[in-house]
């Protein structure tokens, strides 16, 4: 039985994670942390997530966590440092899906991984993890004469752009095409498109869970690789799978590719 504490437990991902954990016979929710300003503090996390009472109160006090094997954090970049400190102090594994992280945050993850097992992924779905491999293959085959554009779409409440997943796909493309020429959106008299440039475009609206397309545009043909997430459950299932994978592992950095065996 893997004991899991959720950080950001009343958020969109937090609630979905609690729903997934409540259906998994190999996991148990043992803690539900929220920010001190959360209006739901003191309420039962299971009730808030819509799965009935789980006897775990939403709390902003880490000392309320009596027992835990793995922390799962889906909050904000600002919360990463204090959350890592909690995990390191307790000597427990740390799975994090927060996006919009900067170099300072990656350095914190690296430092913590000397003490505890750490896994960050900008997208926990199987499909996106496979998509990154397919994009790498396509980029290698379509190495000349193709213009590459990334288009992502997310719900109106998303705070960062481009998405962490788009950045991950961009990193793959930059590496294969050996370019750092990236344009984020276009407007005005932009002139002809330079060769070896990668375009990145973010759409925001409604309740879109997360769409990503990489377009390889050649002369007379266009290859598009698209992934569409229709429910947050896919991310939550991947994160819980990662938590089970990490429980009991030695300190270090781990990847979602290792978890999914890709």
Residues taking part in catalysis: 154, 158
SS (H, E, C) the chain: CEEEEEECCCCHHHHHHHHHHHCCCCEEEEEEECCCCCCCCCCEHHHHHCCCCCCCEEECCHHHCCCCCEEEECCCHHHHHHHHHHHHHHCCEEEECCCCCCHHHHHHHHHHCCCCEEEECCCCCHHHHHHHHHHHHHHHHCCCCCEEEEEEEECCCCCCCCCHHHHHHHHHHHHHHCCCCEEECCCCCCCCCCCCCEEEEEEECCCCCEEEEEEEECCCCEEEEEEEECCCHHHHHHHHHHHHHHCCCCCEEECHHHHHCC
The residue (of 146 and 235) whose beta carbon lies closer to ligand NAD is 235
Q: Considering beta carbons, is residue 112 or 148 the nearer one to ligand NAD?
A: 112
Q: Does 56 bind ligand NAD (CB under 6 A)?
A: no
Give the residue at shortest CB distance from ligand NAD: 11
Question: Residues 2, 10, 108, 142: which binds ligand NAD (CB under 6 A)?
Answer: 10
Binding mask 113-152 for ligand NAD (x = CB under 6 A): --------xxxx----------------------------
| Residue of the chain from 4, 13, 150, 172 that contacts ligand NAD (CB under 6 A) | 13
Subset of 178-237 contacting ligand NAD (CB under 6 A) = 235
Of the candidate spans 7-15, 180-188, 214-222, 246-254, the one that interacts with ligand NAD by CB under 6 A turns out to be 7-15
Alpha-carbon torsion, ordered 83, 85, 88, 89, to 10 deg: -120
The yes or no reply on residue 98 touching ligand NAD (CB under 6 A) is: yes
User: How many angstroms separate the CA atoms of 80 and 27, rounded?
Assistant: 24
Residue 99 in the binding site for ligand NAD (CB under 6 A): yes
Q: Which of 27, 32, 33, 166 binds ligand NAD (CB under 6 A)?
A: 33
Q: Is 243 in the site for ligand NAD (CB under 6 A)?
A: no
User: Please, which residue, 196 or 231, has the CB nearer to ligand NAD?
Assistant: 231
Rounded to the nearest whole angstrom, what is the least distance from the CB of residue 262 to ligand NAD in the complex? 15
* Residue numbers at the binding site for ligand NAD (CB under 6 A): 7-8, 10-14, 33-35, 38, 74-76, 79, 97-100, 121-124, 235
């Amino acid at each position: 039985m893997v004991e899991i504490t959720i950080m950001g437990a009343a958020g969109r991902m937090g609630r979905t994670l609690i729903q997934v954990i409540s259906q998994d016979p190999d996991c148990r929710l043992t803690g539900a942390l929220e920010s001190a300003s959360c209006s739901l503090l003191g309420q039962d996390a299971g009730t808030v997530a819509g799965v009935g009472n789980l006897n775990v109160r939403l709390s902003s006090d880490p000392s309320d966590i009596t027992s835990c094997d793995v922390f799962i954090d889906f909050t904000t970049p600002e919360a990463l440092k204090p959350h890592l400190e909690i995990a390191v102090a307790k000597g427990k594994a740390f799975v994090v899906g927060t996006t919009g992280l900067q170099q300072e945050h990656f350095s914190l993850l690296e430092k913590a991984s000397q003490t505890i097992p750490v896994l960050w992924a900008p997208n926990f779905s199987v499909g996106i993890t496979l998509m990154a491999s397919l994009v790498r293959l396509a980029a290698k085959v379509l190495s000349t004469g193709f213009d590459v554009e990334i288009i992502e779409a997310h719900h109106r409440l998303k705070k960062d752009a481009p998405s962490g997943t788009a950045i991950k796909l961009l990193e793959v493309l930059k590496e294969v095409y050996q370019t750092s020429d990236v344009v984020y959106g276009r407007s005005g008299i932009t002139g002809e498109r330079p060769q070896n440039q990668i375009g990145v475009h973010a759409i925001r609206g409604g309740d879109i869970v997360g769409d990503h397309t990489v377009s390889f545009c050649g002369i007379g043909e266009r290859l598009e690789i698209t992934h569409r997430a229709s429910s947050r459950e896919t991310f939550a299932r991947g994160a819980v799978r990662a938590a089970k994978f990490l429980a009991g592992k030695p300190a270090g950095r781990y990847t979602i590719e290792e978890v999914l065996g890709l």
